[in-house]
Amino acid sequence: MLRYVNAIMHIYYLMLSGPLDEEKWQLLMNRGLLTSEEVGKLALQGSPAVVLYSWANQIIVNCNFENQNLHANIAMEDQLGGTRGLAAKQIAYTRTQIPKVYYNAVLFLVNAFLICITVDHFGQGLFACVNNRCANTVTVPWPFKQNGDCGVCIATLTIGHSMLIVGYGMVLIAATTMAEAYGPEQSHYDLGVDLDNLWSESQNVLASMAVDPPTVVSEAKPKIA
């Protein structure tokens, strides 16, 4: 059961980069998730993860048939179906990206804001520098004016506004880059982390089965009134 659940997760994640090929099937066999016989049967199927889900579901039915433990049967089926559904959503999320209209709108709004703030804030500041500190244009050539610091005023205003434009541009580029969750860039999420953690957790579950529960658990019985 754990093999099949891990294989379902691996298959959906591996399909993010394209259809399953020989190299991907070999990876599943190398990790001990599928046998060569199982791969031979799944390779003929259009939806191998769905077929694996049906096989795992059949195992649940067979294991609980004798005891008729319907509650355990339903609980395991729900967990199995939830795992397959969440793994399949990774493909849907990757293939259905945020529309380009959204990025175009954000790009337009950011640039429109920068233009407005350039005309308003920077324009008014430059006008104030010229009028308040650059009045003496006869005796001393601009921007080294007499009785004022016109050059320092304009330089400070220009540098500050340039830093504002660069800051907004960096944030916009970072947001656009990180909007794509999966890919080869360092900012993209590594799906192998999920698969490795899932495999490690499965190994822990198998190891824990060899540990007997405490006495209070094994001796627990329902009270009869």
Per-residue pLDDT tens digits of the chain, which is 225 residues long: 788 888 888 888 888 777 888 888 898 888 888 888 888 888 887 788 888 888 888 887 777 655 556 666 777 778 788 878 887 777 777 766 666 677 778 888 888 988 888 888 888 877 777 776 665 544 444 444 444 567 777 788 888 888 988 988 888 887 777 666 666 666 666 677 777 777 777 777 777 767 776 777 666 665 555
The residue count of the chain comes to: 225
Q: Note the pLDDT of residue 182.
A: 62
pTM: 0.54
Q: What is the full DSSP assignment across the chain? A: -HHHHHHHHHHHHHGGGSS--HHHHHHHHHTTSS-HHHHHHHTT-S-HHHHHHHHHHHHHHHHHTTTT-HHHHHHHHHHHHHHHHHHHHHHHHHHSPPPHHHHHHHHHHHHHHHHHHIIIIIHHHHHHHHHHH----SSS-TTS-TTS-HHHHHHHHHHHHHHHHHHHHHHHHHHHHHTS-SSSSTTS--HHHHHHHHHHHHHHHHHHTTSPPPHHHHT--PPP-
**What six digits make up the tokens of 210?**
């060899």
| Residues 87 and 12: beta-carbon distance below 8 Å | yes
Task: For residue 164, give every residue at least 6 positions away whose Cβ sits within 8 Å of its Cβ, in sequence order, or none.
Answer: 114, 117
Per-domain boundaries in the chain: 2-96, 100-178
Reference 107, options 150, 48, 169; nearest CA is 169
Q: Note the pLDDT of residue 101.
A: 74
Task: For residue 113, give every residue at least 6 positions away whose Cβ sits within 8 Å of its Cβ, in sequence order, or none.
Answer: 168
Q: Note the pLDDT of residue 224.
A: 53
